Amino acid sequence: MVSAVSGAGTGPAGPPPLGEEFILLGPRGNRAFDASGLEAELRSMWRSASADGPAKGQAAYRAALANLVVPLDASSLEALSPVLVEVTRRHPSRLFLIETGAAREPELLRARVTALCHLRPVGGAVCSEQIILQPGPGAEPLAPSAVRSLLVGELPVVLLEIEAGRAAPWREELWRGADLCLADSALGGDPKAAEPLWERILGDDAGRIHDLAWARLTPWREILAELFDEPALRPALEMLTQVEVSHGGDTEGMPTSPALLLAGWLAARLHWVPERREPDALLLRGGHGPVRLLFPCGAEDGTRSVSRVRLRAAAPHPLQMEVERHGRDPRAAVRIDEPRTERREIPFHY
């Protein structure tokens, strides 16, 4: 859905630099929730868009590819606002931000409308409508029905759950009502907190629920698979004896969920069977014998993701190989010491 108006509404005196964002404000501000009143306020906001606004007379395109529902605690809003700015820049949406802990009136649901706009280098601004819901204590169960009353009917409903460990009946209602649910098991410090999400995915026959931590491992899986496509290295897969998956983040000796997911992928692909947990490793049984899985933590890596994978295999197909990538570097370093010596860099498509 895309429509255009001739200006951009209220904002600072001068236009922001191209590519940066600015906010349009609804005329009535924060008030008690009323669905028909909010829709009227959205229409009024676009009608009153003025050439004196931040876009300075350029067209402002009111765009939406989805209904995006994001429940957040007010204490997390400042830290996670840049995420929402980037999401709406890449995927314009009607954004429903459910901000808990912000309102104090018991049993009252308050709301306001805004629009987040991004100036384009080719001219004009692309704007995502935002409906901010602030339930007071005890009013949280009103949020799902409030969202349903304001959905753009022909667009899919996407739930973005970017707070780990939150559980409540009203949040469950949001999960059930979404066409697509996105969560991130890497957000919790304790990997055990990821288990409910993984259980949801296992029971999701429709493919609605996705773990962003698993999606970010796609380059790692591609690189490892491509390395073992080489005929000289492929036989070593059957002889692997040790795999180290290094990760960042302080998890008190526990591997992060991305490290566990990558190790689980390797174990599933190579048909390894878990046997027992040792003090510093997991012991699995492969076709040739035992395989030790280690999860060293790199204190210098604050991403909580995977930073290095080391693989060792025994004779008759010995292998010593590692793949390492730092932070958001667009390249990964490959080092092979057996069966030959090789150093090279390959693209890492994050």
Contact 96, 150 (CB under 8 A): yes
AA identity, residue 64: A
How many Å apart are CA 34 and CA 111, to the nearest integer? 8
pLDDT exceeds cutoff 70 at 310: yes
Burial grade of 339 (CB within 10 A; 0-12, 13-18, 19 or more): middle
Instruction: List Cα–Cα distances, 146 to 30, 62, 129, 157, 232, in angstroms.
Output: 15, 22, 16, 14, 60
What is the rounded CA–CA span in Å between residue 258 and residue 191? 9
Instruction: Determine the straight-line distance between the first and last CA of the chain, rounded to whole angstroms.
Output: 29
What pLDDT does 136 receive?
92
- Mean pLDDT, all residues of the chain: 85
φ, ψ (nearest 5 deg) of residue 297: -100, 125
Whole-number pLDDT of residue 16: 45
Residues linked to residue 67 through DSSP beta bridges, in sequence order: 94, 157
Per-residue pLDDT at 262 exceeds 90: yes
Q: Identify the pLDDT of residue 168.
A: 84
Query: Which residue has 């067209």 as its token pair?
Result: 59
**What is this structure's pTM?**
0.83
The per-residue pLDDT for range 131-161, each reduced to its tens digit, is 999 999 999 999 999 999 999 989 999 999 8
Rounded Cα distance, 25 and 93, in Å: 17
